[in-house]
Each structure stands twice: as C-alpha cells, then as structure tokens.
Chain A
C-alpha cells in the first residue's frame, strides 16, 4: 500500500536510471573516463612535469580533483536533462505521470539515479588517480559530501532544462555556453592564485569555482576560498535548483496539459 511517500516508485525510477546508464555505457561511462585519462596523461604527467608544484602538491595531484568535479558536473547535468527530455519526447514519462507518484518522488528518483552515475564515474577516476598519480582524498566525508551536493545541484539543473527544452539541441545550450566554459576557467587546470588579479576577481562570480575549490580541499586540505564559504554557495545553489525543479514538476510544467 502507498502511504504518503511512494518509496517503491522512487527506487524503481532510480533503478531505471541506472539501467539506462548501463545500456548506453559507451556514451555515458567510458567517454568521461577516457577523456580524464587523456587529460592526466597530457596535462598532468607530460606538461605537468614542467610545473614544480601547485598548492603544495604536484600538478598531476592538483589536477585529479578538478577533473573529477568536471565529470561529476557534466554527467549529472547530462543524465537528468537527456533522460527527462527523452521521456517527454517519447511520451514514456507518462508511465510515471499516470501512476500514484508525486513530483518529489519523480524528481528525487531522477536525481539519485544521476548521483549514482556520477559517483560511479568519479570513483573510477579516483581509483585511476591513485593508480597513476598515487593520490587519494584525505577527507572522505568532504569528498563524498561535496560530490553529492554538486551532483544534486547539476541534476536538478538537468531536470529544469529537460523540462524546458523543446528539442535535443536546447539541452546543449547550458553545457556549451555556461557549464563547460565556466568549469574550465573555474580552477580545474589552474589555481586561482596563478591567475591575474582581474581574472581572479571574476572567479568569485563563477559558481564552478566554488565547487572545484571545495572539492579539491578533500584531496589537498587547501583551498583558495574559506571552505565554509564554498560549501555555503554550493548548498545554497543546490537548494535553489532543487526548489525550482520540484516546483516545475509539481505544477506539471510541460508534463501535464
């Protein structure tokens, strides 16, 4: 019997999202791992040897947490945006809409399915980082906590854009014009202290900078900004995106006529 929360429905959707990821493993799991390996090889192990140290660690060690965050952000957004949009496009989302399943159960089902995919990718990269660069997180609570919060944030953004999009092309707008450029200049490859002062100030309005800076702390125990500030920004943005996604699902935005 269903009481006030249809837990079975939410877990069914989480499982469905994981099945989906594994069915398209060559599109969604291997590419980020191979790309990361290439970044580590070329930037970390080849070019990086010319850099003595960054934030007190080798460049390759500095790079690993940034690359993990890059893939967590990318895969979380891609998972939810494409799954929600595809469900709308193929109308298969109606299977959930006609069921006794609330907006919250749907939203959290999509999000936790997406977080599971992000954790899988991130932990494979973490293991590769240990194998190739001999680096591991020093603060596991911060490692998982930051990763999950960031994954929820970008999964919620994925749901928002998956609901708003009218065609697949629209899903790429956020990735192409915001996420990718902001992540790349957000401290994945360079420390903020290495940037010119004017650009460094701009980083403070780049939300990706806070995610990378906080997550890197779980590896290096160092950050450019106070940890509490970065975590506050991440949690604030996460709650905002989650609230919007829940509201859109609750009113049935582009789901119910």
Chain B
C-alpha cells in the first residue's frame, strides 16, 4: 500500500488547476457516496452504537444507555443466542463443503461437450434465480407430512419408516432446510466453476495426458491449481451467503421448532422486531458484523495485495 502511494506520487506532476480537476472527479462519486454513507455505513455504525442502549423501538420512547449489559445478557443469559451461533457455524461449515463440492463436480461433468449440456446446466442453475422465500414455500410443500412429495415417495417405495414431519422435528429441521439451500445454491457454484474452468490451459491438460497422467492426476496437478482463484471466490461468496441465511429459515420454520433452527441473522431480527428489545437485537447484529469482518477482511487484504502486485 505505502509503496504504491509513493510510486504514483512520483508520477503525478503538480499542474495548475489540479484542485479543480480533483473536485470535478469527485462529483462523479458524490451520489454513490451519499447513498452509501447514509443508508449503509450509518446504519451499520448505528447498530454498534445502539447495542449499548436499551430501546423498545417505538417512536417517542428514548433509548437508555446501559453499557455492555446487552452483551452480558446475550452471552450469559440467552441460550437461544448460543443455539443461533452454533447453527450459524454449522451452516457455514456445511455450505463450505456440500454445495461447493457438488457445484465443482457438476461443472467438471458439464464442461465436456455433451448432448444438451446447456439444457442440463439450466436445470441446475434455475433454482438460483428464484426468490429464497419462494424456494422456502416450495420446500415446505415438498416436506408436507400428509400430501408432500418427499413423504409420498418414501412411503411408496417402502421406506415409510423414514417418512415424517421433518420441519417439525427439532433434530433434523435444520438439515431439512439445508437440503433446500443445497438445491438452490449448487447451480450458482457450478456456473462459477464452469467460468473458472474456461481459464484452465488446454495445452497443460494435453501435456499431462501425453505424460501418461491419469484423469485424477491431471485434475490434481493441472485443473485444480488453475481453479484456485475461482475456488477462493466461491468460498468467500459462500461464507457471506451463509451468514445472511434468513429468508429460507423464516419461510420454512421461523426459527422453530423450539428455536432449533435459529440463526444469528434471524434471532437479531426477531429480538428487535418481534420482541421489541432493540438493544439485544443490535448486540446480536454486532456479533454478526464482527464475524463477517473476521471472515471478509483477510480476503480483502489478500485481494488488495494481488491488485498492487500486478
């Protein structure tokens, strides 16, 4: 960072009217900066500030400073918070493994020139353009204990013992929602990997084959290293989207049964807007904020370093 500033500083020759040019250039970013500052940065800072206040969210009532009391409460007296935290971590780990691997496998398969491959790609990708809330409603119906397809098929093929009210069962509700998530997001990962695969040098693959490398060896030695930037993007996007998971859970269980599918994003929302304890809601949102930063900042630093290295 410092190196780049000095080098560009040396290049810049002070010209008359540079302040004017600066100002004219800045005009272009003004609309974006205002919107960004007022409706994104300010609310985020405000979340952190308000996490030290007690407020019921009604107009006219005054927030009261309570110091770190909200944090003490969520960390020591709120079992739902820890449940939500654990579920968020579980969701994060599962989504770094399952939809990513499936997406990669599909991309490897559909990178071959096969009959109807565009149609096949579309079949996997289409769920990704749907509203998560629509996906949630679809899957609630698929899981319906009486008339849903999942239970209907299980009973018909003699696995009736496995049939049940998945979304109403504390031990598997989260996994049942995750299945819907996999259905929705795998196609997006596939598209990203397919894009990445176009950057794998064909000559290297051919060369590896000529050297007698097997398919797996070729993948490990040539394809996978070339996919590294794509894999990183997929991981970052997956982490972000798994911290945001909200619509699917609201639509499928609302966090229940007995808070077993609660996650940080939803618990924060419910504390603020359903239970009218904005201070606690904001404290949970702040935890989510810190977790997001912890996951995103290393990537940002790495990517800025790459940018400067070029």
A binds B: no
Which chain B residues have a beta carbon within 8 Å of chain A's beta carbons? none
